[in-house]
Amino acid sequence: AAGAKEMTVRDALNSAIDEEMSADPKVFVMGEEVGQYQGAYKITKGLLEKYGPERVYDTPITEAGFTGIGVGAAYAGLKPVVEFMTFNFSMQAIDHIINSAAKSNYMSAGQINVPIVFRGPNGAAAGVGAQHSQCYAAWYASVPGLKVLAPYSAEDARGLLKAAIRDPDPVVFLENELLYGESFPISEEALDSSFCLPIGKAKIEREGKDVTIVTFSKMVGFALKAAEKLAEEGISAEVINLRSIRPLDRATINASVRKTSRLVTVEEGFPQHGVCAEICASVVEESFSYLDAPVERIAGADVPMPYAANLERLALPQIEDIVRASKRACYRSK
């Protein structure tokens, strides 16, 4: 039945929350405009009608306030799904995420679980300037106690969000605004209400033998398009969709690099101390003798995101950048 049905990432997220709310009365949604307005990006559409204002909670514009309430609710045994209108606003509440949510299980010697999901669009959208275009993958993935997931397809969105809601620990769930409206083929299995993906496991989206391209979220689509172009030139690229930034699936990455001997990493975030940097370190530590070329790192430009459309494009990884880097990795003089 694969390929027969299609689903947008928006519907995938919406149905995942709906199903988990229906399965577990402890699950509730809170955030700005999640109820009456049906969600700024309509991810929570229809939920207020179905579950009522007690479980679909419209908050004031106070991330520092409602995130604290959410974490407190999780301490007390509920399973909040906190929506940030964008993850840029999560910086208002970062103390709650890191100090209150991520560390409590450890600091209470396992007595306090914090089963909370922080979700919302992350990274650059289009024309929203330096303050609203940031990728938080590397930020949150550097914190022990957090789990950080980043879906690409509709299947990812359903499987990972359901896993995040069911998980007993705090999960940062990084969506991408530009993917919400994109449709993906979805299997019957992924449509089943019991469907769930493992946290910490990457997906090989495309098999290849010459170069491994590792990335996540929207860049998976770019990497797949780059792989098609590379295939036309006789380069077989393997594309790995990380799905989980923390825990990072080092085993899958290293196994692939050991096979292809070449690695290109892609992320929209800044290069310094980024997810790519961590992947690079992992491969150098574990698979040094298998590398046949320097690791190529494609990241967002090391500048605050420009507002001008032409500069914004230049500041973000493009398909051509991935193609060029892959060719550099595979280069041989005649």
Partner 1 sequence: SSSSDLPPHQEIGMPSLSPTMTEGNIARWLKKEGDKVAPGEVLCEVETDKATVEMECMEEGFLAKIVKEEGAKEIQVGEVIAITVEDEDDIQKFKDYTPSSDTGPAAPEAKPAPSLPKEEKVEKPASAPEAKISKPSSAPSEDRIFASPLARKLAEDNNVPLSSIKGTGPEGRIVKADVEDFLASGSKETTAKPSKQVDSKVPALDYVDIPHTQIRKVTASRLAFSKQTIPHYYLTVDTCVDKMMGLRSQLNSFQEASGGKRISVNDLVIKAAALALRKVPQCNSSWTDEYIRQFKNVNINVAVQTENGLYVPVVKDADKKGLSTIGEEVRFLAQKAKENSLKPEDYEGGTFTVSNLGGPFGIKQFCAVINPPQAAILAIGSAEKRVVPGTGPDQYNVASYMSVTLSCDHRVIDGAIGAEWLKAFKGYIETPESMLL
Q: Are 268 and 123 in contact (CB under 8 A)?
A: yes
Q: Is 234 in the site for partner 1 (CB under 8 A)?
A: no
* CB contact set of 10 (below 8 Å; sequence gap of 6+): 41, 42, 43, 180, 181
User: Minimum distance between the CB of residue 283 and partner 1, rounded to whole angstroms?
Assistant: 11
| Positions 280 through 319 that interact with partner 1 (CB under 8 A) | 288-293
Distance CA 140, CA 280 (A): 18
Q: In this structure, are residues 98 and 71 in contact, taking their beta carbons and an 8 Å threshold?
A: no
Instruction: Reply yes or no on whether 63 is catalytic.
Output: yes
Q: Tell whether residue 332 is a contact of partner 1 (CB under 8 A).
A: yes
Beta carbon nearer to partner 1, 191 or 293: 293
Stretch that binds partner 1, among 20-28, 115-123, 167-175, 326-334 (CB under 8 A): 326-334
- Kindly state the smallest distance separating residue 289's Cβ from partner 1, in Å: 4
Which residue, 179 or 214, has its beta carbon nearer to partner 1? 214
When the beta carbons of 201 and 328 are compared against partner 1, the nearer one is 328
Q: Does 255 bind partner 1 (CB under 8 A)?
A: no
Which of 19, 296 has the CB closer to partner 1? 296
Instruction: Please identify which of the residues 32, 96, 132, 177 carries the catalytic annotation.
Output: 132
# binding residues, partner 1 (CB under 8 A): 12
* Of 12-20, 21-29, 220-228, 324-332: span binding partner 1 (CB under 8 A): 324-332
Please say whether the beta carbons of 138 and 273 come within 8 A.
yes
The CB-of-230 to partner 1 minimum distance in angstroms stands at 17
Q: Is 331 in the site for partner 1 (CB under 8 A)?
A: yes
Q: Which is nearer to partner 1, 5 or 259 (CB)?
A: 259
We find the least distance from the C-beta atom of residue 288 to partner 1, in angstroms, to be 5
Q: Is the peptide bond before 247 cis (omega within 30 degrees of 0)?
A: yes
**Positions of E strands within 53-181:** 56-58, 79-83, 117-121, 147-149, 171-175
Sign of CA dihedral 140, 144, 146, 148: positive
3-state secondary structure at position 23: helix
168 vs 294 by CB, closer to partner 1: 294
Q: Out of 261, 265, 282, 326, which residue is the one contacting partner 1 (CB under 8 A)? A: 261
Examine the residue annotation and report whether 132 is marked as an active-site residue of this protein.
Answer: yes
- β strands within the chain, DSSP E: 5-8, 27-31, 56-58, 79-83, 117-121, 147-149, 171-175, 183-186, 203-206, 211-215, 237-241, 244-246, 263-266, 296-298
Least Å distance, CB 290 to partner 1, is 5
Six token digits for residue 189: 């299995």
- In the chain, how long is the greatest CA-to-CA distance? 68
Q: Choose the catalytic residue: 63, 177, 238, 268.
A: 63
Integer angstrom CA distances of residue 196 from 93, 111, 167, 193, 221: 28, 26, 11, 8, 22
The contact set with partner 1 (CB under 8 A) reads 261, 288-293, 328, 331-334
Q: Active-site residue numbers?
A: 63, 132
